[in-house]
Amino acid sequence: MKEPHILSAFDRDLEAVQAHVLRMGGLVEQALLDAAEALETRDEALAQKVQAGDKAIDALEEQINEECARLLALRAPAAGDLRTVLSVMRIAAALERSGDYAKNLAKRSLVLSNMSPLGGTSSSILRMARTVVLRLKEALDAYIAHDVAVAQDVRLRDKEVDQMYNSLFRELLTHMMEDPRNIGAAMHLHFIAKNIERVGDHATSIAEQVIYLSTGDMPADERPKAELISGTDTAAGR
Amino acid sequence: MDDMRLVERTVEQLQSKIEAKGVQVYYGEKHALKDVDVAILDRTVTAFIGPSGCGKSTFLRCLNRMNDTVASARVMGSIRIDGEDIYDARVDPVQLRAKVGMVFQKPNPFPKSIYENVAYGPKIHGLAANKAELDSIVEASLRKAALWNEVKDRLDATGTGLSGGQQQRLCIARAIATSPEVLLMDEPCSALDPIATAQVEELIDELRSQFSVVIVTHSMQQAARVSQKTAFFHLGSLVEYGETGQIFTNPKDPRTEAYITGRIG
């Protein structure tokens, strides 16, 4: 770890904003898991809890932005300190968006609980959500440890989530072709899958912030992405 | 892409004005400056930063041979301005100092009129053939130093009667009156209030179009604000020298990082 600042209040400020980010990360991870669980088990109470909990995530982001603005104005951070503040703000933004996706998942799960299930799609979604939450957790752990190797790994493994999304996409397409009455539910499930895939992208962007924080540069190489499904490019476009 | 780069970063294309190689300075037994190699660019503001006693002022003073006036000082290595070795025996230090002007920490106007303060250098170096020419040098220098409008009606008033910020700008006018090519500034704003500091910083940025400016400062924010290149000195060595934005966002040496982020180095 780095040496402490001569002015110890500076260290306390930096530690405080980073602690907020971790708390935010914890809330977002739980919200995603709960929302996917609520979908799978048709637990309306749990879904409502996730919806209500998004306020706390948004409030934390606002607090982080406020404190970062103060830090920039009052402490004029440079070099690694500056990158810490900038990465904190970007990570908080990524987490806030991920929290919104969890809330949206919960909202859709309430609608879906009144519809008949489409095969095993909701458990596929739960599996996908667990994988994404794991990536998110790894990215945040890499952030705390300034671990570039783990961050690189998170970046490269986003492809797995893309592949899960693609196979869900195919499965939903099949359900819709089988019976048009499935379209309503399938559309909701597709939006859910797409949103979880987006959370995966946010986990990747957090991993990229870890690399920026530690090295001073954003990764220059293109990360690997799963192929789009043929003939449905516009639908699955990204 | 190249034209989209910030102006501040285009300095890399400028030619070097001062080239120092293997510069060593001893004050008696004390090894104050160790093997400094640096190329200072023309029409660029270069900031020297580092803790007290790191050698930054010592190096600055080598650039116009101010260390000659310190009996115990020995300077070794080579310093070339426009390819000419300034420590060559044939170089007259007085002529050199007309070419390499200096502004000090505390404003030190002569106890004479504002006019005389600025006219002194051009007079002793014979830069003006008559009073009219001298008048125009004085006016031009005071204008460049952004002081003309404040003092044009009282050029006969004593320089020491001005405010601190005005005195410092008078000293800058005095330094640029001899048309130097390099301007050395040793903490020029440390005795000034924030408004006067901002005025001097604005002036430094304007002077950059004509001179190579080297500024020693204890304020890292000032170095970040006014310079395009920054050199970090520590314990008599030049630790890192690079583009100012790079030094302040992504320094390569951990000692530079420790210093500019306010950690124990």
Give the number of A-B residue pairs with CB atoms closer than 8 Å: 40
Instruction: State the average pLDDT over residues B126-132.
Output: 92
SS (H, E, C) chain B: CHHHCCHHHHHHHCCEEEEEEEEEEEECCEEEEEEEEEEEECCCEEEEECCCCCCHHHHHHHCCCHHHHCCCEEEEEEEEECCEECCCCCCCHHHHHHHEEEECCCCCCCCCEHHHHHHHHHHHCCCCCCHHHHHHHHHHHHHHCCCHHHHCCCCCCEHHHCCHHHHHHHHHHHHHCCCCCEEEEECCCCCCCHHHHHHHHHHHHHHCCCCEEEEECCCHHHHHHHCCEEEEEECCEEEEEEEHHHHHHCCCCHHHHHHHCCECC
What pLDDT, on the 0 to 100 scale, is given for residue A229? 66
Contact flag A217-B250 (C-beta cutoff 8 Å):
yes
* pLDDT tens by residue, B22-60: 999 999 999 999 999 999 999 999 999 999 999 999 999
| Alpha carbon separation from A221 to A87, A208, B150 (Å, rounded) | 19, 11, 57
Q: Is the ipTM of this complex over 0.85?
A: no
Q: Note the CATH architecture for domain B2-260.
A: 3-Layer(aba) Sandwich (3.40)
Strands B16-27 and B30-41: antiparallel
| In the predicted structure, residue A231 carries a pLDDT above the cut 50 | no
| In the predicted structure, residue A69 carries a pLDDT above the cut 90 | yes
User: Which residues lie below 8 Å from residue B113, measured CB to CB, with a gap of 6+?
Assistant: B155, B156, B157, B158, B159
Domain-wise residue ranges, chain B: 2-260
What pLDDT, on the 0 to 100 scale, is given for residue A3? 83
Q: For B32, list phi and psi in degrees, rounded to 5.
A: -85, -30
The C-alpha of A76 sits at a distance from chain B's nearest C-alpha, in angstroms, of 8
pTM of the model: 0.80
Chain A residue numbers with beta carbons less than 8 Å from the beta carbon of B249 are: 78-79, 82-83, 216
Closest residue on chain B to A213 (Cα): B250
Computed over every residue of chain A, the mean pLDDT equals: 91
Computed over every residue of chain B, the mean pLDDT equals: 91
The C-alpha of A215 sits at a distance from chain B's nearest C-alpha, in angstroms, of 8
DSSP state of A5: B
Which of A4, A6, A216 faces B250 most closely, judged by CB atoms? Answer: A216
Best of A1, A2, A13 to mutate (most B CBs within 10 Å, chain B): A2
Q: In what order do the strands lie in the sheet with B73-81?
A: B30-41, B16-27, B73-81, B84-85
Yes or no: domain A8-236 corresponds to CATH 1.20.58.220: yes
What pLDDT, on the 0 to 100 scale, is given for residue A224? 74
What pLDDT, on the 0 to 100 scale, is given for residue B76? 93
What pLDDT, on the 0 to 100 scale, is given for residue A88? 97
What pLDDT, on the 0 to 100 scale, is given for residue A219? 86
CB atoms within 10 A of CB B66: 20
* pLDDT tens by residue, B144-199: 888 999 999 999 999 999 999 999 999 999 999 998 999 999 999 988 888 888 88
What pLDDT, on the 0 to 100 scale, is given for residue B11? 56
